[in-house]
Amino acid sequence: TPKGLRAPPRPCHYKSKGGLEVLREAQLNTVTDAAFCTASLSGFTAKVDQLLMENFEFIILDENQGAIWRPLAPLFEALITEGQVPSRRKIHALVLTLLRTDNHSIQQAKKVWTAVVALKLLGDRNIPVALKTYHEVLLGCKDLGLHKQSLEVLDTMHSTNVTANVAIYNLALAACGKGGDWKAALLLLDSMRRSGVAPNAKSFTSAMTSCTKAGRWEISLRLLEEMKRWGVAANSFSYSAGIRACDQGGQCERALELLDDMTKQGVVPNEHCFSSALNACSHGGQWERALTLLKEDMVIAGVRPNRVCYGAAMKACGRADRWSDVAGLLESMDDLGVRPDAVNLMLALEACRRLGWRKDASIIFKRLLSVTRVVPSRALEAMLAIYEDGGDWQASLSALRGAERC
């Protein structure tokens, strides 16, 4: 038993207690067996009991620190105790306490689930909840990509006649964007229109992202066109989502047209726009256009290329067998102070293999060992091929030993 916590009572102790007593005693004990705990919740109404039985694993477990729902225990007590109705301020404080303690992703997901269940329980009891509380829970859903839970929160708001504003809808749409739930995103856009809530650029961008992630790039591009009909000005993130959709659909020329169009509309492209356009060039075999984008267009726009942009340009040149350009791009990264990642170094190593540059390959291989814990098999194959062509078996053995140390 951890220091400062009493040992949990035996299961039979809980079975003789009512639901409210279990909640109160669980605040002082570390409960680890959900089976006998759920069996003792006889004091709950049928609806509350069903919800807690379905979601108890998200409400009770918190490794060695007790129950993760402990900050919400007063709220659950109020739900099963006659005459206790917590205020909106009290509810908001309890939910914030739950969500803002410990940002570990796994635990945070459980806490968001718990908050969603709590809002559902409050809605079933017709207990009013502040709009900012719904906003905080939806923010947690958005950060973790819990799109289904975000829709449950919106359903609870609708059932309790709480009007959702554009910020609320945008959080739910962003959760759908992370989860790739394109159908739900389109339904949310339609719900906004029917509710008289005008979608903005962020709304459309999240819906476009969800469509692209689900492989529905045509719908994503149609949403970009629909923004104009709605009088919503597309921003750099909207165009980036559209260019990414073009890349996924193999529409290289269309991606470049969007990049030109946003410049004409006075929208400054960001690094995401350029990296998506460079990827489209890579997949479309437009290596010359890729180099122009990287070396000229990004300079004019005042956007500093990152390793993703360089990686896309290097892939475009590699697919066209322009290996000297690939090696030159790695030098350009070093000159600009852009630290290459494993992808950049792998492409440069392949270029050295194709060009027969043994000395440069050895240097790049050592750099690769410093940025990755697991050496890709392709890197070892490239190094062995280089030394084999030169008849230097000792250098091959040295490369293998270096990889083992890594």
Say what the pTM is: 0.72
Alpha helices in 11-129 (DSSP H): 11-15, 19-26, 34-39, 46-60, 73-80, 88-99, 105-124
Domain at 73-199, CATH from 3.40.605.10, 1.25.40.10, 3.40.50.2300, 1.10.3330.10: 1.25.40.10
Confidence of residue 125 (pLDDT cuts 50, 70, 90): confident
Q: 309 φ, ψ to 5°?
A: -60, -45
Mean pLDDT of the region 200-216: 93
Mean pLDDT of the region 67-91: 61
Q: What integer pLDDT is reported at residue 32 of this predicted model?
A: 32
Q: 101 φ, ψ to 5°?
A: -110, 120
Q: Give me the DSSP letters along 289-312.
A: HHHHIIIIIHHHHT----HHHHHH
Bridge partners, 29 (sequence order):
6
Mean pLDDT of the region 273-284: 94
Q: What is the mean pLDDT of the chain?
A: 77
Q: What is the pLDDT of residues 305-318, one digit of tens each?
A: 999 999 999 999 99
Q: What integer pLDDT is reported at residue 44 of this predicted model?
A: 32
Query: How many whole angstroms separate alpha carbon 68 and alpha carbon 91?
Result: 16
Query: How many whole angstroms separate alpha carbon 61 and alpha carbon 7?
Result: 16
Q: What angle do CA 235, 240, 241 make, to 5 degrees?
A: 100
Q: Which residue has the higher pLDDT, 187 or 369?
A: 187
Residue from 133, 55, 46 nearest 94 by CA: 133
Rg, C-alpha atoms of the chain: 28
Query: How many whole angstroms separate alpha carbon 28 and alpha carbon 70?
Result: 10
Q: What integer pLDDT is reported at residue 72 of this predicted model?
A: 60
Confidence of residue 77 (pLDDT cuts 50, 70, 90): low
Residue from 184, 211, 276 nearest 239 by CA: 276
Ordered by start, the domain boundaries in the chain are 73-199, 271-340, 346-405
Confidence of residue 19 (pLDDT cuts 50, 70, 90): very low
Q: Which residue has the higher pLDDT, 179 or 168?
A: 168
User: Do 26 and 73 contact (CB within 8 A), yes or no?
Assistant: yes
3-state SS assignment for residue 359: helix
Query: How many whole angstroms separate alpha carbon 116 and alpha carbon 37?
Result: 21
Find the range with the poorest average confidence among 112-116, 288-292, 316-320: 112-116
Q: What is the pLDDT of residues 149-174, one digit of tens each?
A: 899 999 999 999 999 999 999 999 99
Query: How many whole angstroms separate alpha carbon 270 and alpha carbon 277?
Result: 11
Q: What integer pLDDT is reported at residue 395 of this predicted model?
A: 52
